[in-house]
Amino acid sequence: MPTRSVVTTASALALALLTATATFAQTPAPAAKPAMTLTGDWNVSLYGDHVVPVGMTLTQDAKKLTGTIMLPGTDVALTGDFVDGAITLKGKVESGATAHGPGMGTGDVTITATVKEDGTLNGQFAGGRGTIKLTAERLGRRPSRATPPPADPGVSGSVAGRWNVSIDMNGTPMPFALALTLDGDKVGGTITSDHSGELKVDGTFINGALAFKTTTGEGMTLTFTGALKDGDTLAGNLTGPMGALSWTAPRVKK
């Protein structure tokens, strides 16, 4: 026959087990980590003999992806899937259109990429001119070129005001909206496109010579130099990872 001490010890052990079980049952399970979605706008960099920045918009429905990549010269519709962190997208440059730039051209387009821990994309772009490296980061906000940020209205002979910039990308014009302010000889403002979003500029306007810089979301520094041609038109050169390019910009009239 068990002694009183044995019975007491067994009862205490049973009570401890019951208490632990109840406590475990009441502990809420950790919240499930929300599934990542690729839906949204992206800043894409295509790496050939120079870097070409383009825009991409994606929509995700479970594992299915659809979207558009805005290549220099044409937009290309994309379809594909997102499985286990890997992206596959395919499209085609339509007959009669030509996508300018390294690795582009005409014909089928294939994008393969993986999602990195920081949410950026890293992969390849295969087009009519071969296969090149591709990276992309999410664009938080895409302003419209039709509504550039407000700036001083400007007067003839001053760089202050709004300008419609056209950059010559190997024969294909790339439009930007430029809004400049002038404080003494210091230039500020923004440069905006559907592909790059809104970027701040910083520079000078001294003795009729304009110079300013901006940095893209991918960390690329672009340097613009130019001058007023007739009081209401800017023209000059752009230097950066893509090499030397020319640009012109008529003033936006009220």
pLDDT: is 180 or 145 the higher one? 180
Percent of the chain with pLDDT over 90: 36
Does residue 180 or residue 27 have the better pLDDT? 180
Q: What rounded mean pLDDT belongs to the chain?
A: 78
Beta carbons of 214 and 191 less than 8 angstroms apart:
yes
Q: How far apart are CA 139 and CA 39, in angstroms?
A: 11
What is residue 149's predicted lDDT score, i.e. its pLDDT?
A: 46
pLDDT single digits (tens) 117-155:
888 899 999 987 789 899 998 875 444 444 444 444 444
* pLDDT recorded at residue 146: 42
- Tokens of residue 137, six digits: 């980061």
> What band does 225 get if pLDDT is binned at 50, 70 and 90?
very high
Give the best-scoring range by mean pLDDT among 4-8, 26-30, 156-160: 156-160
Written as six digits, the tokens of 209 are 């010579």
pLDDT at 191: 93
pLDDT score at 101: 57
- Whole-angstrom Cα distance, residue 95 to residue 123? 26
pTM, two decimals, is 0.48
Position 55 scores a pLDDT of: 86
**Which value, in Å, is the radius of gyration of the alpha carbons in the chain?**
28
Q: How far apart are CA 138 and CA 41, in angstroms?
A: 6
Q: What is the pLDDT of residue 70?
A: 83
Helix, strand, or coil (residue 230): coil
**Fold assignment, 40-139:** Lipocalin (2.40.128)
State pLDDT tens for residues 156-178. Answer: 568 999 999 999 887 788 899 99
More confident residue, 92 or 105: 92
Angstrom distance (rounded) from CA 108 to CA 93: 6
Sketch the domain layout of the chain as residue ranges: 40-139, 161-250
For 182-220, write each residue's pLDDT tens digit. Answer: 999 999 999 998 777 899 999 999 888 999 999 887 788
Beta bridge partners of 176: 165
Q: Is residue 45 a contact partner of residue 135, using CB atoms and an 8 Å limit?
A: yes
Q: What is the mean pLDDT of residues 90-96?
A: 79
SS3 12: helix
Tell me which CATH code domain 161-250 carries.
2.40.128.120
The average pLDDT across 72-81 equals 87
Strand segments, DSSP code E, in the chain are: 40-47, 51-61, 64-71, 74-83, 86-93, 107-115, 121-127, 130-139, 161-169, 172-183, 186-193, 197-206, 209-215, 221-228, 233-240, 243-250
Do 40-139 and 161-250 come out as alike in CATH topology?
yes
Sequence-ordered list of residues with C-beta below 8 angstroms from that of 150, at least 6 positions apart, any chain: 179
211 SS3 class: strand
Cβ contact 162:173 at 8 Å: no
E strand or H helix at 219: none
